[in-house]
Structure 1
Amino acid sequence: MLATVAIPDDIVELILLRLDSLVSLVHAATTCKQWRRVVADAVFRRRYRSLHGPPMAAGTYHNGERFERPHFVPSPSATIDGRHFSLDFLPDDTYCIWTVRDCRGSLLLLDRLQLQPGNGGGYSNLVICEPLARRYEIIPPLSTFANCVQLGAFILVDGDDNAEEGCDGMSNFRVLCVVHGHYKTRAGMFTSGSSYWREETFYSLWASIVGLTARSIYLYMNEGRVISMDLRTSEFSNFLLPSIIEGWDEDDRIRHRMTITAGRDNKERIVVVHFGCKVKVYARLDGGSCGAEWALEKTIEISEAMGGVHRHNRDWDLIQTASLSLHRAGSVLIQQEQGGSSRAKCFRLDVETREMELLPDHHDMKVEVPLSPTLRACIDHDDGDGDALCILVSSLYI
């Protein structure tokens, strides 16, 4: 009998990189332990993603009516059974209002407002879940004070802004939440496996989120003060908005007129909608750290960026990014009211190329086909269960 000669891992990797179907790749991973090990390797996944693009979106979650759970709508290009993404495994929702707050990779973050019949009160919890694995975790509230307003809640990932590489399912996640009430703003970080928030408190009459990038979140604290939080180190810093900025004032609409983003060079940009028809971009000068060291970088006429498409005589507003999955370096989200019963159209404006892209409803949250968690599960089950898991997940898409 001829001896079996093992194919070196680097040759197997070159072969598997040529597969252009996610389903084929999952099937290949069920062939043997060696192939599973190659496909599940982080370096391989980065190379595969760079060659074939991001994972396919399985579909989107839409928030329902008052007491309805969010429902899943499969993507037309994804041949999957939407029932596998149902949220019927979550806790009893009697007198509950569920709202999707964020989606990252295969994880979904929801706000669960439990109403108390009779007195009109209630309390809120964040719930993070992985629909395909039918697992969830209830996160304790960041603040137990009444009348606190949740400014935002986000799923964070480790490493670069790459959802597939940083998100390891329910075993490894971080949640950022910002609330304001009683003249206090609390920013807290919750980590999987923990039972408490690491939080920081700031005193301010009011606060608003005015920017979210892959590295930082920005909070406007009134009187021109902006506090930024490094999402990787949880360290805080602050600066004053430069006096040269035009087109905004101290009122409750500042979040619709100004946002802070990061360019492709990872440097901060302050973007302001001026008179509802043009965008001004301010960049921090090299070595600058205070408000006086910013300069106007460019002015963009929105009508010119539109190229004559969807022109209306209505003002434009900025939209604060509600999820890191929506963030793109060098870009901001803007919308223009349509009037009547029509919903506002959302666009992504690239402030570097001056190009605009019409987006689907930015309130809908896309969930990705969870390739990497599945393959990691396969490796963890060398007794044969891993093959069964891979085959089961593959069957969802074919």
Structure 2
Amino acid sequence: MASPELPGAKRNNVLVPPSPLLRLNDDLLADIFLRLPTLADVGRAATTCASFRRVVADSTFLRRLRSVHPAPLLGLLLFSSVHPAEPPHPSAPYARALQRAADLSFSFVPCAGRWIPIDARDGRVLLESETMGGDFAVCDPVSRRYLFLPRIPGHPAAQRCRRLEPFLVPASNEEPETSLRVVCVAERKPGQLVAFVFSSDTGRWGSLTVDVSVPPSCKFSWSSYGFGSCYWKVTGSNKLLGLDTRSMVFSSFDIPSGYGQQDSVVVEAAEGRFRMFTLHNSMISAASYLVHAVRVIREEGNNLWQVKRRVRLPSQYIFSFADATDKHLLLRGIPWNLHLEPSTPGADIGYFSVEFESMQVEKICGIRNLLYAKLYTGFPPSLSLPSI
């Protein structure tokens, strides 16, 4: 007589299906991680287990992540280094990670101490020799890689031009993440501009010359960059000059009367729209406001600027523009007492970011001296790829 079957025998013979987590392959995990709302969520997921970390660290995933999340603001590019964002700015945790992992004084670039940072874009920094003799380099402080650029052809002639500041152009979605371009625009003679363009794909400089209808004695403001185009306000006029870095075509258009004399900046928004931001500082009420307007093109072709929002800024400062990208403004705030009494001790210059869509004003840091500053954006070291 057969012995009775033990109650647990059938359970022991049945194959236990793997858990749902084990059935997920890397591609599905990557799709899930790309749907997380913030980069911080992606970073937290990577610390959960080795499998998640492997997916997040994969170069293919990181390239896809860049197309979903814009590079966050990490700090300021100053005269000799990068100053990380300080608490309570929302990017302060990313900035601390950057400070631990990167060389923010660029000492890894040969001939350290003779380079001046002049622009930053998506984790790269454009350096120029302190002699301003036309020697350029591009570096990545996280991967500690760098690229020396050849001199601009016919450089002695270019040096005699009245130069606008050089700037970096990020790679497009169709280009490898290590592709880069550097643009240097100069006024060859009154009313004629020349753009020198370096491409890492060819390793050479090209040039484009264009005649522009601007007064011979005019000056150009610092540049603002967004969505592939760079813009300069022609001071003393109501005209804006633009350079589309994708097609390398110059264009110009008028801004409302009087804005050429005000502290204002124009940036391109998505789908060819334009935003204009204007600062109003009242010496009487000791109050400052930021006004946001957008350009609307009517059916008859006329331009109309519509005010979208007016935001009051922190009351203890008098503000000016320092930089603008396709997502943020950088405002420089000088304390009112320091503005009135320059010898006032212990007063810091405040630097503030303004996010375009929300118009949220966040203090990045305070610096004792009035310094040249530009926004520094990039991905946290754990989510970044070598950009050079």
Aligned to 2:5: none
Aligned: 1:157 with 2:170: yes
Q: 1:318-349, CA deviations, whole angstroms, 9 ceiling, x for partnerless residues?
A: 3442xx3xx32xx6444443222545434445
- Which whole-Å CA distance do the structure 1 matches of 2:50 and 2:148 have between them? 34
Aligned pairs, number: 325
Q: 1:112-153, CA deviations, whole angstroms, 9 ceiling, x for partnerless residues?
A: 133xxxxxxx61322101234333222244553335454222
Aligned to 1:21: 44
- Which whole-Å CA distance do the structure 2 matches of 1:188 and 1:156 have between them? 13
Aligned: 1:113 with 2:126: no
1:297 Cα deviation after fit: 1.4
Aligned to 1:365: 376
- Which whole-Å CA distance do the structure 1 matches of 2:300 and 2:242 have between them? 16
- Which whole-Å CA distance do the structure 2 matches of 1:207 and 1:373 have between them? 38
Aligned to 2:135: 125
| Structure 2 length-normalised TM | 0.64
Percent identity of equivalent pairs: 15
SS in 2 for 1:197: strand
- Which whole-Å CA distance do the structure 2 matches of 1:15 and 1:282 have between them? 36
The within-5 A match list for 1:371-386 is: 374=385
Aligned to 1:232: 246
Aligned: 1:356 with 2:345: no
The within-5 A match list for 1:187-206 is: 187-193=195-201, 194-202=203-211, 205=216, 206=218
| Residue number among 100, 103, 115 corresponding to 2:117 in the alignment | 100
Shift of the 248–112 alpha-carbon distance from structure 1 to 2, 3 Å rule, reads: same
The within-5 A match list for 1:213-252 is: 213-221=226-234, 223-242=237-256, 245-249=257-261
Shift of the 349–200 alpha-carbon distance from structure 1 to 2, 3 Å rule, reads: same
- Which whole-Å CA distance do the structure 2 matches of 1:317 and 1:373 have between them? 32
Do the aligned residues in 2 keep the contact of 1:333 with 1:346 (CA within 8 Å)?
Answer: yes
1:44 Cα deviation after fit: 5.6
**Could you tell me which amino acid in structure 2 is paired with residue 99 of structure 1?**
I
Do the aligned residues in 2 keep the contact of 1:103 with 1:367 (CA within 8 Å)?
Answer: no
Q: 1:276-330, CA deviations, whole angstroms, 9 ceiling, x for partnerless residues?
A: 65547352323465xxx2334128665xx23xx4246x5x433442xx3xx32xx
SS in 1 for 2:30: helix
Gaps of 5+ in 2: 1-21, 37-41, 87-91, 283-287, 367-372
Aligned to 1:310: 315
- Which whole-Å CA distance do the structure 2 matches of 1:337 and 1:63 have between them? 18
Aligned to 1:261: 267
Aligned: 1:40 with 2:48: no
- Which whole-Å CA distance do the structure 2 matches of 1:130 and 1:274 have between them? 37
Gaps of 5+ in 1: 65-69, 115-121, 250-255, 378-398
Shift of the 26–218 alpha-carbon distance from structure 1 to 2, 3 Å rule, reads: farther
| Structure 1 length-normalised TM | 0.62
Shift of the 225–372 alpha-carbon distance from structure 1 to 2, 3 Å rule, reads: same
Structure whose CA Rg is larger: 2
- Which whole-Å CA distance do the structure 2 matches of 1:247 and 1:35 have between them? 47
| Residue number among 256, 266, 286 corresponding to 2:298 in the alignment | 286
1:182 Cα deviation after fit: 4.3
- Which whole-Å CA distance do the structure 2 matches of 1:92 and 1:38 have between them? 32
- Which whole-Å CA distance do the structure 2 matches of 1:139 and 1:89 have between them? 16
Shift of the 91–72 alpha-carbon distance from structure 1 to 2, 3 Å rule, reads: farther
Do the aligned residues in 2 keep the contact of 1:332 with 1:351 (CA within 8 Å)?
Answer: yes
Do the aligned residues in 2 keep the contact of 1:13 with 1:38 (CA within 8 Å)?
Answer: no
SS in 2 for 1:40: helix
Shift of the 257–155 alpha-carbon distance from structure 1 to 2, 3 Å rule, reads: same
Do the aligned residues in 2 keep the contact of 1:110 with 1:128 (CA within 8 Å)?
Answer: yes
**Could you tell me which amino acid in structure 1 is paired with residue 380 of structure 2?**
V
Shift of the 246–26 alpha-carbon distance from structure 1 to 2, 3 Å rule, reads: farther
Q: 1:182-221, CA deviations, whole angstroms, 9 ceiling, x for partnerless residues?
A: 4343333221132113333445534414542223212344
1:241 Cα deviation after fit: 3.2
- Which whole-Å CA distance do the structure 1 matches of 2:241 and 2:142 have between them? 37
Do the aligned residues in 1 keep the contact of 2:76 with 2:374 (CA within 8 Å)?
Answer: no
SS in 2 for 1:87: coil
Aligned to 2:276: 270
- Which whole-Å CA distance do the structure 1 matches of 2:357 and 2:84 have between them? 34
- Which whole-Å CA distance do the structure 2 matches of 1:192 and 1:136 have between them? 12
Aligned to 2:10: none
- Which whole-Å CA distance do the structure 2 matches of 1:280 and 1:72 have between them? 28
Do the aligned residues in 2 keep the contact of 1:273 with 1:317 (CA within 8 Å)?
Answer: yes
Do the aligned residues in 2 keep the contact of 1:107 with 1:130 (CA within 8 Å)?
Answer: yes
| Residue number among 208, 221, 230 corresponding to 2:220 in the alignment | 208
Shift of the 264–134 alpha-carbon distance from structure 1 to 2, 3 Å rule, reads: closer
- Which whole-Å CA distance do the structure 2 matches of 1:167 and 1:73 have between them? 27
1:260 Cα deviation after fit: 0.9
- Which whole-Å CA distance do the structure 2 matches of 1:138 and 1:196 have between them? 13
